[in-house]
Copies of this chain bind each other. A is one copy, B any other.
Amino acid sequence: MLESLKAEAYEANLALPRHGLINLTFGNASAIDRSRGIFAIKPSGVAYADLKPADMVLVDLDGKQVEGALRPSSDTPTHRRLFLAFPEIGGVVHTHSSHATSFAQAGREIPIFGTTHADYFAGNVPVTRKLTPAEIAGGAYEWETGNVIVELFSQLALDPADYPAVLVNRHAPFTWGKTVAKAVEVAVATECIAHMALMSLALSPALAPIEPELLAKHFKRKHGPGAYYGQPGGNC
């Protein structure tokens, strides 16, 4: 069932190593069919070169595996938590892309220094608090990983459409979008702006963030009712 959903998830998973975002099996992508409340996700620990569309595992929003011979990604509960909390999103991507992960390991936000960043995000890419020992050991580690993301967005009142990525502290980025293809695009952008932020900080350690007018201009050029970037009806 849901062949086109599995194909969409499959294509997104394959795009991750092609964009240089994935080494080994460090990452996964999922796409959801909102009308049925079912998402397709990569099987756990399968090499990208061996992956086939039929390998995608179908899971419902209660966490029940509804189709697939293979075990789903161990990060499945994190994806599920995000699909439940952010009803507008259609896909989730998780990578350990090198530069973004370096910020996550250091527990630092990716600071917004230029228009490349502002084309995708309405501010810094936020970083979660660390999980507590109880959250780590309590038997629902990956679900709790989703919880600290949701908690952060709630506490800071961030709209996931304006901030389509997060760094999980000590771990790595998660991104999302209206479609899983868009979540892949955000994952590429997240890695790219992390790389540039690292270099801008090397040049100017006390660099201030981009000016708010320029941030707003670039973000709104591509998003919202006044957007004029791209083609009418296009999704970039």
Contacts and interface: CB of A to CB of B under 8 A. Distances in A.
Interface of A: 23-26, 43-47, 70-71, 74, 96, 98-99, 101-108, 113-116, 119, 130-131, 133, 136-137, 141, 170-172, 185, 188-189, 192, 195-204, 207, 210-211, 213-214, 217, 221, 228-232, 234, 236
Contact of A221 (B74, B108, B119): B74
B74 A101 contact: no
Contacts of A113: 105-106, 170
A194 B101 CA distance: 12
Given A131-B214, A170-B115, A230 B44 contact: yes
Q: What is the oligomeric copy number?
A: 4
A24 B189 contact: yes
B23 A188 contact: yes
23 contacts: A24-B185, A25-B230, A44-B229, A44-B230, A45-B230, A45-B231, A45-B234, A46-B230, A70-B231, A71-B232, A74-B221, A98-B192, A99-B199, A101-B116, A102-B196, A105-B113, A105-B196, A106-B203, A106-B204, A113-B170, A116-B172, A130-B214, A170-B214
A102 B45 CA distance: 29
